[in-house]
Structure 1
Amino acid sequence: MKKFQSLSKQEISRYQSERLKELLAHAIKNVPAYKDLDHELIRSASNPADSIQHFPILTKKYFNENSESYISNTADRSQLIANRTGGSTGEPTRFYLDRVTVEHFEAARWLGLSWSGIQIGDPSVMVWGSSIELSKNQSQIHQLKEVFLKNRTIISAYDLKEESIRKYLDQIHSFKPNYLYGYPSALALLAELMIRNNLRLRIKLNAVVTTAETLQPQQREVIETAFDCKVINEYGARDGGIIAYECPEGNMHISAKNCYLEVVDIHTKQPLGYNEKGLLLVTDLNNYSMPRIRYQLGDVVSLSDKPCGCGNHLPILGSLEGREDDVFVSRDGSYVHGNYFNQVMWNLESFSGYQLIQHTHEDVSLKLVKNVGSHDFERDEQVFRDEIMKKLGNIHLSISFVNEIPRSSSGKIRYAVREFPLVTTPTSVEKEKEFTTLNL
């Protein structure tokens, strides 16, 4: 991968085309889920980028219902590695990987970390949660593996408390990590507790690595202030691998050796160009055991064609907005991404946390966590209310105050949640169903 990132853009593009061509040929020959596609139409396309357009977009729901049909006839089932997503946005997705795919995922992570001087085996402290249910014995074995095989220890992201802040710092000092790794929300909370109690680390970190949630600018700022080092953003998913990593220049470089990415319009599902925000589709170029082609990960992103001054020629992810479920629908039918409300909220000093939930087109609820020491609650609440109404229209908005925003089963915090599908009219639903049937 180090050699690959130094190739020219043309060489990287050519490599992707060759690998994509091989994968698509394998899928239509050996994967039951793709046996009914028009193989001749796919083969006759002028290039692999056109060929892949004849494959249907694969949603998580459809994959969950038909996962067995995506296992290749050539796969050695005894060697498949079972995995699943954390289920932070609903039902977990269960899938299989093979050893080759797993090692490519890990190589991509260590490549990204190496750009900031972090090497394999460097000690780290994770601020983390896990959806995997372990018995007491399994948990002890898991922790031993973490410490002795991976050289890392874990601080639970589930129950960070102000009264325990010195205990967390003692754990960090004792382990002497090169870097911290975890959820932006949990790391930002840890940083805020340190600042509030006028505490600093006695050791110098190389970096703090954030992952699994959308990193907000104010979170980056408070983390860098408290830990006196740079924040590196990692973008990946259990069911998508390491997709992009932040370089020292601040750009998110795509793991082009591992994956082929497409961005499509949220509603029409038509391909979008550079710098246009839409749904991300991921095709893993290494997993021949259970190929998932044009897999809709659920995130809203854009691709960029700009060069990077770091000397790395891997393509760049232009923006990372968050999940499709974070996109709200206004009364006039326009889309409003939850990131808009993030920007509003983090400029209000009265609140330290929030969660905005759109239950229907008309009903929205807002949970707010009051910031200790602030006296402008009513003013800032009104500002937030006005911005929500301005963007979403004449809705019914209920506001409540809570002590904290609950984490999902996987340990993440979801700030913006839409509880209904983007396509809600009967006609549209039927058309989508018909399209899916014809293509699958």
Structure 2
Amino acid sequence: MRESIRQLTRESRNAVREGPSGIAGRQRAHLADLVAHARANSPYYGELYQDLPQRVDDPSLLPVTNKKKLMARFDDWVTDREVTRDQVEAFVANPRLVGHRFLDKYLVTTTSGTSGVRGLFLLDERSTGMETALGSRAAGMMGAGDAIRLLARGGRTAILTAPGGHFSTVATTARFQLDHPRLGRRMRVFSIRQPLPELVDELNRFNPAILSGFLGMLTVLAGEQEAGRLRIRPALVIPGGETLTMDLRRRLGAAFGAKVRAAYAATECSFLAIGCAHGWYHVNSDWAIVEPVDADHRPTPPGTLSHTVLLSNLVNQVQPFLRYDLGDSVLLRPDPCPCGNVFPAIQVQGRAADLLTFPTDHGEPVTMSPMLFGTLLDRLPDIRQFQLVQTAPATLRVRLKSAGGADPDQVWQTVRGEIAHLFTEQKIADIALERADEPPQQEPGGKFRRIIPLTKL
């Protein structure tokens, strides 16, 4: 695989030099190869694609899939006839096997099932190699000063997540540590479930060069850094799992004195996109296809917010994801990004399932993006974390964690006023705002979902 990683790295860098037309050509070729492989080796795809042309390099010709459909046909979906769902379920039930190879071939990752269906996903060697190759491509876009700061701290990487289980961040880190014991010592998983003072103390002693984790937890740590309790100087901060607003980007950068490079990824495609300084995510479109679509899966034009997005991961051959409804609402940039990155640029507004819908006086309900609340509340310095829970059609429960030293009552008054003003701007009346006694709650996988619509309860 080492030789393959070198080859993948070389190909990924060649794609940059070829520009948009070359990248598009690579994408078509990779799609055609994966479709041919899937229909020949997966009974599910063989059945689904039986009426398609012999060669398919246009994703719009493919039927749409989703997690519920694929998990229901798991044994027929996978292309390796040795793999069964019962075997994978038994494997993930053993926490001692996190990071180990299933059937000596595949890394197994799971999702927490907050969407209603738990995901069981296999990564072949090609997939893990591609993560390394595209990570190298992204690292090549960093400046010399950033590289020096990384080396000065020994390249130590702190990964903030919820340990236990085969969640992607935990499993991939464990896999790397098993494969590369010497380099693996520079990587460490920090539990976000431990008391905050203990986490801060451990991070101070580790002094990471790279700090990676869910945005909600990084925001909490930014508050600790600003208060002087956390004293680290990473060269790079990598937030993920939630939508990063420009206000939060600036705050993280200022608090840690670091470059902030957001990642847009999913367990189904961990290398999907990398963020730039202008607030856009650049899709690794030579190996992944992102199609913004409306509720009927028709393409939405550039510059228009989509209802959802269809993902095609062109790398994973054991468990193909082709036109897979990811559930995120995205906007494709209609013009070149000023950062100079040649790959397509998107903004992620949050999951379609996280959109809040409220009744109005004029009869037509109003749907609001999570980004509206993020851009509103992220600029308030006294908020460490927030979570909005729709408990009834016209009731919003507000969970808050205030910054150290802030008056919680004053913070609540400010937040209530800001949200009420936002509703007025949106012409939404008579929404009850409830102050929660409990703090924001995290999901089993460690993510803090900032917006919880009524349908998610």
TM, length-normalised to structure 1: 0.80
Give 2:265's aligned residue.
236
Separation in structure 2 between the aligned mates of residue 10 and residue 199 of structure 1, nearest angstrom: 46
Tell me the SS of whatever aligns to 2:304: coil
CA separation of 1:14 and 1:133: change in aligned 2, threshold 3 A: closer
Give 2:247's aligned residue.
218
Structure scoring higher RCO (CA < 8 A, sep ≥ 6) equals 1
Give 2:201's aligned residue.
167
Separation in structure 2 between the aligned mates of residue 113 and residue 419 of structure 1, nearest angstrom: 41
How far does the alpha carbon of each residue in 1:385-437 deviate from its partner, in whole angstroms, 9 at most, with x for none? 3434664835653512335312111111111012428xxxxxxxxxxxxxxxx
Give 1:413's aligned residue.
448
The one-letter amino acid paired with 1:110 is: S
Separation in structure 2 between the aligned mates of residue 308 and residue 22 of structure 1, nearest angstrom: 30
Which deviates the most, 214-223 or 234-243? 214-223
Gaps of 5+ in 1: 422-440
Separation in structure 1 between the aligned mates of residue 443 and residue 63 of structure 2, nearest angstrom: 30
CA separation of 1:395 and 1:33: change in aligned 2, threshold 3 A: farther
Are 2:163 and 2:191, in contact at CA under 8 Å, matched by a contact in 1?
A: no
Tell me the SS of whatever aligns to 1:48: coil
CA separation of 1:169 and 1:82: change in aligned 2, threshold 3 A: closer
- CA-based RMSD of the aligned residues comes to 3.3
1:157 paired residue among 192, 195, 201? 192
Are 1:282 and 1:293, in contact at CA under 8 Å, matched by a contact in 2?
A: yes
- Aligned runs of 1:110-149 on 2, under 5 Å? 110-116=136-142, 117=146, 122-130=155-163, 132=165, 145=178, 148-149=182-183
- Aligned runs of 1:10-409 on 2, under 5 Å? 10-37=21-48, 39-43=50-54, 48-49=57-58, 52-72=59-79, 78=103, 79-116=105-142, 117=146, 122-130=155-163, 132=165, 145=178, 148-150=182-184, 151-161=186-196, 163-164=197-198, 167-173=201-207, 177-197=208-228, 200-201=231-232, 204-247=233-276, 251-265=280-294, 267-278=295-306, 279-308=308-337, 312-317=341-346, 319-331=347-359, 332-348=364-380, 351-371=383-403, 372-374=405-407, 376=410, 377-388=412-423, 391=426, 393-394=428-429, 397-402=432-437, 404-409=439-444
Gaps of 5+ in 2: 1-11, 85-102
Are 2:219 and 2:385, in contact at CA under 8 Å, matched by a contact in 1?
A: no
Shift of 1:144: 6.9
Separation in structure 1 between the aligned mates of residue 304 and residue 79 of structure 2, nearest angstrom: 34
Shift of 1:165: 6.9
How far does the alpha carbon of each residue in 1:371-398 deviate from its partner, in whole angstroms, 9 at most, with x for none? 5434634354233234346648356535
Separation in structure 2 between the aligned mates of residue 239 and residue 224 of structure 1, nearest angstrom: 29
How far does the alpha carbon of each residue in 1:331-378 deviate from its partner, in whole angstroms, 9 at most, with x for none? 223421111122222344564332112245344332233454346343
The one-letter amino acid paired with 1:12 is: I
The one-letter amino acid paired with 1:185 is: G
Shift of 1:149: 3.9
CA separation of 1:188 and 1:182: change in aligned 2, threshold 3 A: same
TM, length-normalised to structure 2: 0.77
Tell me the SS of whatever aligns to 1:256: coil
Separation in structure 2 between the aligned mates of residue 356 and residue 247 of structure 1, nearest angstrom: 28
Shift of 1:192: 0.8
Tell me the SS of whatever aligns to 1:235: strand
CA separation of 1:38 and 1:286: change in aligned 2, threshold 3 A: closer
The one-letter amino acid paired with 1:252 is: Y
CA separation of 1:280 and 1:406: change in aligned 2, threshold 3 A: same
How far does the alpha carbon of each residue in 1:147-188 deviate from its partner, in whole angstroms, 9 at most, with x for none? 744221233222352x44762453233xxx322222222122
Tell me the SS of whatever aligns to 1:294: strand
Give the aligned length. 404
Are 1:360 and 1:420, in contact at CA under 8 Å, matched by a contact in 2?
A: no
